[in-house]
Structure 1
C-alpha cells in the first residue's frame, strides 16, 4: 500500500494583515514603474500579493487582491483623469483591478491545495502571465499598460527580453516573487519545512542569484543589412501650449512649431555635412490634414525639398460625420504622399467608445470622443527603396500601439529594420504617461532587436538602439529634435519568432496547473492558528484548524 505524503502546512494570513499586504504590494508595484523606476520592488509586490491571498476564506483574499489592484492601477493611470475626467479614470482603475482579483483567487487555489513547492511556484507564476495576457487583449483589444515587462526598462532582467519576450519576463518576475514568498514564510515560521527558518535562506538566495545571472545574458546576434548598417533619422518635437482639458482642442501653432524645428535640424545637419534620410513628426502634428489644406501641403513640400528627405507626419482624417482615421502620412519633396498608415489599434474610450449609448447613461464624458476612430487593416511597414526614396524598411506605430508587443512584433516580422512611434502626449498634460510610454519603447526595442525612434508633440522624445541604448533625447515640454545614425537590423530575435505563442504556452501551463490543483489530491493546507509555540506544540490544534477538507482522507 502506497504511503501517503504528509500535507504541507502554512499558517493563514489574518485578514487585517492580508489587506495591508495587498495595499502595500500595489504601492510597491507602482514604484517599480516610471518615473520611480525601482524595478526590484516588482517581485516584492507580487510576493505581498501572494501572502495577502493566503487567507482562511475567499473574501479576505478577494479584498486583498482588489486593494493591490487599486493601489497600483488608479495612480498608474492618473493620466486618464487629464484626458477623460475623474469618473472614467477611476472606472479604468477598477476594471484593471478586477484582473488582479481574478489572479489572486486562482493563485490562492493553487497555493492552498498544492502547498508551496516547486510545482505551485511554476503554476502560480504562469497564472500571472495568463491573467496579464488576458488583460492586455480583453475586452475591446485590452490595455497592457502596467504590464510587468515595462517595469524592467532599467533592469538587468531586460536582457532576457529578446529571448523570452514580454510574457517570459513576466513569468520570471512572478517566479522571483514566489521565491520570496517561500523564503519569507519559512523564515517567519509560517511554513513547516526542515531546518526551521534556515530553509527560507535558499529561496531568497536563489532569487538574488537569478537576478545577478541575467547581467551576463547576451543579446541575440542580430545582423545589419548589407552595406547600410544605419539610417540618418531626425524626429521633430515642436512642443505647444498645454491642451485645454475642457475642449481637448489642439492649440494654435502646433504645425508651425514642428515646421520650425524641421528647418532648424535641416540647417544643423547640412552645416555638419550630414544628409537626412527621414524626418519624423509626431501624431496630430499637422493640426489639419495637409492633404486637404494647400498651405500645409506646400509648407511640407518646401521643408522636404530643403532637407532632401521625406517627412512622415501624423494627422487625423475625418470619415463622414461620425468616424475618423489616425493617419501617418509620408510627404515627399515632390508634394506626393506615396505611403499612408492607419492606426490599427484605437484605444477604447480614448479613441472610440464601444456601446456608446449604454455608457452615455453612465457619463456624458463619452461625448468628448466626438468621432470614433476606425482601425486600419495593414501592418505599417514602408519600404523606402520600393517607394524610390532611398533605402530602408521602416515600421510605423502610433502612440499607444507601442504598448502592444504583438503589434510591434508583427511589424518586425513584416520586414521593418527600424520602428518609428508617433505620439501626442500633450493630451495627458504633466502626468507620468509620457515617461511610461518612453519606457515601453525602450523595452520593445530590446525585445524585438530593433531601433525605436519615439517622437512626441511635447515629449518625451528619444531614439533607442536595438540593445536599448539611448542615442538622443528631448525632455517634456521642450522644443527640439532627436537625431541619430539609427542602427538597422534584419535578424529575428527568439521573442519575435515565438510571438504570442510564448504567452499562450505559459498561460496554458498556468491554467492546466490550476485545474490539476482544483481536481487533484490535496498536498497543502492552511493552518488557522499562527505558529507561536514550539515546533511540536499545538500540533493537534493546528490539525483541527485545517481549512477546506480537514483530514483529506
Structure 2
C-alpha cells in the first residue's frame, strides 16, 4: 500500500503537470490568457511546503507539460529529437526555479515572516526567464509569461516594467490565487476570528501587490498619438512550406516583386516605405544582377524606399541574414546584419558533436555570421520630417536588450519598428501567432508602431497600444497599406532597462540569505532544546501550619 507521503507526492506531481498544461493554453494556439496566472497558482500550490528534491521534480514535470505543446512547432519538419531536447532544456530552468523557491520557502514556513515565502515565487519566475533567455548560446526567451498577455488587461503594464515586469505581475496574480484558495480551504471549520486573522495580512498585502500593476495599466492606457505615415507591406508567400521553402528562390523573390507592382497599380497614393519580410530575396543581389534589377524595378515603380530581407554571401566562409534598405535613385542599399543568429537553425555550434545525435545539423550547410550593431534607416517624406525604420529580424524580437537598444539608438527617436520574419519552416502551427503576440507586447513596451511582416504570414500593422489591423492568414499572398504612427516617446520601461531583472535578482538573493539565517537560528534553538536535561530539584514537602 502506498504511504500517505507517496500519495501526497503523487497529487503534487499531477498538479504540476496540470499547471504546465494550463500555462501552455494561455499562449496563441489556445490563446486563453487568464490561464497563465491560474497555472502559476496551481504550480505554487504544488511546490509549497515540498522539499527541494521533490520541488525539482515538480518543476521539471511542469516545464515538460508547458514547453512540449507550446514549442511543438520546432519539430514539425526536423523530427522529435530537436523538439524534445529544446523543451527539456527549457524545462530544466523551471525545475531549478522550483527547487530554489522551495529552499527559500522552507525557511519561512514556521516564521512570523511567513508571507515572504509567497513572494519568492514571482521573483524566481522573473529570474528563471532571464536565465533561459540568455543561456546557453545566447538563450531562447520564447514562451515567457509576458508574451501570453497580449490580449490581457495586464498588457499595458509592459510600458512600465517591460516583459520582466509583466511576467512578475502575472506570477504575482497567480500566487494570490494560490493564497486565497489555500487560506479558504485551510481554515474551513475554524472560528471566523482565527480565519480572518490568518487570512487578512497575507491576502491584503499580496492583493495590493498583484493589482497595483493592473490599476496602473488601466489608469494610463498606452498612448497612440503621433504623425501618421503611409507604409505598404508585402507578404509574397512561398511555393511550398517546409525546410526547403527556398528551393525556388527565384519564385519567392518574384512573388514579392510582383506583389509590390500589383499593389502600386491599384492607384493608391505612393507609400513612404515598402517592407518585405525576411528571406524575400535569398538570391544575393550584390552577386546576381538579375535579382538586383528586379528589386530596383520594385523600388522605382513604388517611388519609395523598400526594406528587403535578403541572404548575402559572405563574409567568407559565412553567409549573412540582412535587411537591405533600397532608395529610389540610389544604386547602393544600406544594410543591417542580424545580430542574434539562431543556434541550430542559422548556425551549428559544436557541429561534429551534435552530428552524433542528428544528421539534420547538416541542413545548415553554411553558418550565418553575427552583426555587431543595431540597424536603422532614415525614411524621407515629401514635405515633412523624415522618420526612422528600425529593423528586427525574426527571433530577435524576443530579446529584451536587443529590442531596447535598437529602439533607443541616439538620433533615431522618431521611428517605427519593423519585424521581418519567415515562418515557412514551421508550417501551419501556432509559431506565427506566438511571434505576432511578442511583437504586440514590444509595441506597448517601447511605445512604437510595429510593421510585422512574414514571408508566409501572419503579418499586420500593430499600434503602440498592442492592437492591430490588417492581420493576414498563413500561406497566402497579401499586400496591405497602413498608416502607422511615428512616435518619439521613451517609455518608463525603456528608461529602466534591465533594472526590473536586477531588482528581482537582488530581492531573491536577499530572501535566500534571510532564509538561511533563519534556518541556522532554528537549528541552534533545536539543538538547545535537545541538550542535556536540567538537574533535578530537591523534593520539598509541604509545610504544615
Distance change (3 Å), C-alpha of 1:252 and 1:549? farther
Distance in 1 between the 2:454 and 2:361 partners? Answer: 25
The answer to whether the Cα contact below 8 Å between 1:325 and 1:343 also exists between their aligned partners in 2 is yes
Counterpart of 1:490 in structure 2 is: 488
Distance in 2 between the 1:444 and 1:296 partners? Answer: 33
Counterpart of 1:172 in structure 2 is: 169
Q: Per the alignment, in what secondary structure is the counterpart of residue 311 of structure 2?
A: strand
Distance in 2 between the 1:348 and 1:36 partners? Answer: 28
Question: Which deviates more, 397-406 or 47-56?
Answer: 47-56
Aligned residues: CA RMSD: 3.1
TM-score (norm 2): 0.87
Counterpart of 1:118 in structure 2 is: 115
The alignment status of 1:509 with 2:504, answered yes or no, reads no
Distance change (3 Å), C-alpha of 1:44 and 1:244? closer
Counterpart of 2:218 in structure 1 is: 216
Higher RCO (C-alpha under 8 Å, 6+ residues apart): 1
Counterpart of 2:81 in structure 1 is: 87
Counterpart of 1:140 in structure 2 is: 137
Q: 1:251, CA displacement in angstroms?
A: 5.9
Distance change (3 Å), C-alpha of 1:67 and 1:549? farther
Task: Please list the CA deviations of residues 260-319 of structure 1 after superposition, one character each: whole Å capped at 9, or x if unmatched.
Answer: 210122122xx24x2211101110111311222111211211211111101111111122
**Runs (5+) with no aligned partner, structure 2:** 532-545
Q: 1:27 aligns with which of 17, 21, 29?
A: 21
Distance change (3 Å), C-alpha of 1:214 and 1:40? farther
Q: 1:13, CA displacement in angstroms?
A: 8.8
The alignment status of 1:373 with 2:362, answered yes or no, reads no
The answer to whether the Cα contact below 8 Å between 2:52 and 2:100 also exists between their aligned partners in 1 is no
Counterpart of 2:312 in structure 1 is: 317
TM-score (norm 1): 0.86
Q: 1:352, CA displacement in angstroms?
A: 1.2
Distance change (3 Å), C-alpha of 1:29 and 1:89? same
Distance change (3 Å), C-alpha of 1:184 and 1:549? farther
Distance in 1 between the 2:372 and 2:316 partners? Answer: 21
Q: 1:329, CA displacement in angstroms?
A: 0.6
Counterpart of 1:453 in structure 2 is: 451
Counterpart of 1:67 in structure 2 is: 61
Question: Which deviates more, 475-484 or 318-327?
Answer: 318-327
Aligned residue runs from structure 1 range 15-414, under 5 A: 15-54=9-48, 56-115=50-109, 117-189=114-186, 195=193, 202=203, 213=215, 216-219=218-221, 224=226, 229-245=227-243, 249=247, 253-268=251-266, 271-272=267-268, 274-319=269-314, 322-334=317-329, 336-385=331-380, 391-414=386-409
Q: Which has the larger radius of gyration?
A: 2
The answer to whether the Cα contact below 8 Å between 1:152 and 1:158 also exists between their aligned partners in 2 is yes
Task: Please list the CA deviations of residues 463-502 of structure 1 after superposition, one character each: whole Å capped at 9, or x if unmatched.
Answer: 1111112132211112111321110001100001111122
